[in-house]
Amino acid sequence: MSQTCAAPIRLWRLGPWSLNPLMRGYDRLQSVIVIMGVLFVLAMVPLSAAYGTATYTRLDQQTQAELATRQPAPATLVEDSRNGTAGEPLPASPQYQSHARVQWSVSGVTHTADVPTAAGAKAGQTITVWLDPSGGIVAAPDTGSQNAATAVSVACGIWVTAAGGYCLFFLIVHVMAFRHHQAQLTREWNELDRPPGWHVS
């Protein structure tokens, strides 16, 4: 019989339904846990995907709400960019490792703020900032791709956490079964070492 055909047969014989008298109770328990683990991990795939979809829907609704109250506007740098963190409470981004003072106008009123900029930006350049209804700078709404990346990360995180937790549970059961088996072997070896007959203390 080829190894390809023999492998499924060996796996089948390791199942808890095996009639092999040498299979111990803990072996059957571990087989049941493995089967349940496979089913659990597979079941977590659609559940994680559903949670990721719900997360994307929630983030997309949040983005749409922000787009309804925020608008982009041109702003002019009044100085060259400097390394460091901007004073405005805007999210940091690898794309913007520097900051500079910018000016923009809303209804004829000029505003100034320190915002993140691309490294090497020069005074006089125009950048786009996002404004709230009062004309103050706010963070740009997340894009659809950012929301999708967050949702995928959440879904994968849930699945990995669930799978890792079940693997940890199986490892604990396996260690307990191994220790129980070792203790049982020790008792059996001690019984074999005793000479036959009655022992009188």
pLDDT digits (tens, 9 = 90+) for 145-169: 999 999 999 999 999 999 999 989 8
Q: Are 129 and 75 in contact (CB under 8 A)?
A: yes
Judge whether 197 lies within some domain: no
Cα distance between residue 142 and residue 66, in whole Å: 9
**Residue written as token pair 């000479």:** 195
Q: Which residue has the higher pLDDT, 28 or 182?
A: 182
Cα distance between residue 94 and residue 79, in whole Å: 21
Residues 84 and 183 in one domain: no
Judge whether 99 lies within some domain: yes
Residues 148 and 57 in one domain: yes
Cα distance between residue 26 and residue 178, in whole Å: 9
Residues 57 and 103 in one domain: no
Residues 77 and 129 in one domain: yes
Question: Which residue among 140, 172, 195 closes a domain?
Answer: 140
Judge whether 61 lies within some domain: yes
Judge whether 180 lies within some domain: yes
Residues 81 and 114 in one domain: yes
Residues 76 and 65 in one domain: no
pTM for the full predicted model: 0.67
Judge whether 5 lies within some domain: no
Residues 76 and 108 in one domain: yes
Residues in the chain: 201
Residues 155 and 121 in one domain: no
Question: Which stretch of 10-19, 80-89, 116-125 has the lowest confidence by average pLDDT?
Answer: 10-19
pLDDT on residue 69: 92
Residues 134 and 151 in one domain: no
Question: Which stretch of 76-90, 99-113, 120-134, 168-182 has the lowest confidence by average pLDDT?
Answer: 76-90
Residues 133 and 155 in one domain: no
- pLDDT bucket at 92, cuts 50 / 70 / 90: very low
Q: What total number of domains does the chain contain? A: 2
Judge whether 179 lies within some domain: yes
Residues 52 and 36 in one domain: yes
pLDDT surpassing 90 at residue 43:
yes
Judge whether 22 lies within some domain: no
pLDDT surpassing 90 at residue 36:
no
**Other CB atoms closer than 10 Å to residue 55's CB: what's the count?**
19
Domain range enclosing 92: 71-140
Question: Which residue among 125, 140, 155 closes a domain?
Answer: 140
Judge whether 87 lies within some domain: yes
Q: What is the 3-state secondary structure (H, E, C) of the chain?
A: CCHHHHHHHHHHHCCCCCCCCCCCHHHHHHHHHHHHHHHHHHHHHHHHHHHHHHHHHHHHHHHHHHHHHCEEEEEEECCCCEECCCCCCCCCECCECEEEEEEEEECCEEEEEEEEECCCCCCCCEEEEEECCCCCEECCCCCHHHHHHHHHHHHHHHHHHHHHHHHHHHHHHHHHHHHHHHHHHHHHHHHHHCCCCCCCC
Residues 174 and 91 in one domain: no
